[in-house]
Each structure stands twice: as structure tokens, then as C-alpha cells.
Chains A and B, each alone.
Chain A
Amino acid sequence: MGWIGSIIPLDNLGHYLHWHFILISVSNLIVIGLMIVTFVAALLLPFPGRSRRKENQ
């Protein structure tokens, strides 16, 4: 790794979860989990600028 390489390289063999026919890498699970968390958070978190909007209505 050079000076600009990765600080936490992910080149070692990946970790995988196996449940019946479902086999998924921890990395992919994190990505998909984050997508769902992001989606739910986007629905639930209050969006700033609410009061200003009301004034303009």
C-alpha cells in the first residue's frame, strides 16, 4: 500500500453469514441494512426549515 492507499484495506477473505439458502457477505448486509435505515430515517427525521415554510403559505 502506498501513501494514498487504504487505511483499512478490505482485501482479506470476507466474512459471510449463512442461513438456509441465504448466503450474504457482511459488507453487502451492511450496505443493504444502511439503505433501509437511511430510508426509514429519511421518512421519520424532521426536515429543517419547517417554520419558514409555514410563514410562506
Chain B
Amino acid sequence: MSTTEIDRQWTTRLRRRAAGKLPPEKLLPDTQPAYVSSWIYVFGVTTLAALVVVIVSGCILALEGPQWWHSSNIGHFVNSTHLWSVEIFFFAMIVHLWGKFFMGAWRGGRTLTWMTGCVTFFASILAGFTGYVSQTNFDSQWISTQSKDGINATGGGSFFNVLNLGQMLMWHIVILPIAAIALTGMHVLLVRIKGVVPPFEKDTEIAR
């Protein structure tokens, strides 16, 4: 087996590209630029932490099935942690978004980082929505019958039926979590590859 043959292998190429783009020191850094010194930087990691709590509480709910929390005190408590971690998730995500906007965090080739963040936000809204309609209570009855009009108006209602509990639950616990986790993973990896955006140049606003 020649070296060139190994060089041409898909596996070799992928490993080399990945290692080149994201060496271990970048993936798990032990230093960061000195300008990273503000409380506004904690909201990204807070969003991630809230996502972890959302997923853990959701998995506990999944252990016992969609109707468990109506009849069990423990189930109801787990549902409460699911709700409040979602509130914290969106809270932190929106403050993170504001912070990154005012830093112009897309500068220096970070457009894709910004875009994956936005798409994660949109996917999270859909994930939250499918959760609301999967509650199997008055809330889900009302929210699903109201929101169907908006979704039907776009034509999406022909295949995305918000009144179909099974379909919504599947989206909520399979498709959208995978999407949210994959998008968040991409977003975080891009942040690690590109690094945190440096400040505007000191004379930037004088220059313009």
C-alpha cells in the first residue's frame, strides 16, 4: 500500500482537514484574547447550559411518556423544570443575540457563525412551539387550533398538521432536537475555529 493511496483516502483527507481547521488547542483553548472581559460574554455559555437542562428534563419526561406529567407530582415537577429551562434558554439566547449584534460579531469572516446562530434561534422557536402543542391540555388545544391558520396560509399546513398530536410530538422530541443540537454544535465549532471577534479599531468611527 503506497503512501499516496493512504493520502487519497476519504478518511485521511477528512481527518487532516478537521485537524488543520480545528486543532485541539483551538477546540479546547486554555487562553483567550485579553479583550474578552465583559459579563456579556457569559450569555452564550448560559444558552448552552440551558439547552443541556432542557434536553435532560425532556429526556426524563420521555422516560414516562407524553401524559405522565398530568397525573404524577414528580412528572409535573419535571415538566416545570422543562418549562423554566426553556424560558432561561430563550432569555439567555436573546441577550446573547443583542450582545453579538452590538459587537458586530460577524466581522472578520464570521458571517456563517452569525447565520448558524440565527437559524438555531428559528429552529428553537419551532421546537418550543411543537412542545406547546404537544402538552395534551387546554393550552395545546387552543394553540394548535389558532396556529393552524397561520401555517395553512403558507401552504405548510398541507404536510405540517399542527392538530396531529403524533406528528407534532415526533417533531418535538426527534427532528427538532436533532436540528437544534446539530446547529448549536456547528455554531460552537465555528466560534472555536474563527475565535471571538476582536474589537473595532480604536479610530474606526473617526475614520468614517
Contact = CB atoms under 8 A, between A and B. Distances in A.
* In the complex, A touching B (Cβ < 8 A): yes
Contacts of B95: 35, 38-39, 42
Contact of B43 (A1, A31, A42): A42
Report, nearest first, the 7 A-B pairs whose CB atoms are least far apart. A2-B73, A42-B39, A42-B40, A4-B77, A47-B37, A39-B95, A4-B73
B99 A42 contact: yes
A39 to B, nearest CB: 5
A35 to B, nearest CB: 6
B17 interface: no
A4 B73 CA distance: 6
Interface in B27-80: 34, 37-40, 42-43, 73-74, 76-77, 80
* Residue of A34, A49, A50, A53 with most chain B CB atoms under a 10 A cut-off: A53
Interface residues of B, number: 18
A6 to B, nearest CB: 7
Contacts of A41: 39
26 contacts: A4-B73, A5-B73, A5-B76, A31-B87, A34-B91, A35-B91, A38-B91, A38-B95, A39-B40, A39-B98, A42-B39, A42-B42, A42-B43, A42-B95, A42-B99, A43-B38, A43-B39, A43-B40, A45-B39, A47-B37, A47-B38, A47-B39, A50-B37, A53-B34, A56-B34, A57-B34
Given A31-B87, A39-B99, A42-B42, A4 B74 contact: yes
Task: Decide if the interface of chain B is mainly helix, strand, loop or mixed.
Answer: helix
A43 to B, nearest CB: 6
A49 B39 CA distance: 11
B94 interface: yes
Contacts, number: 45
Interface string B82-93: 000001000100
Contacts of A31: 87, 91
Contacts of A21: none
A47 B42 CA distance: 11
A2 B98 CA distance: 40
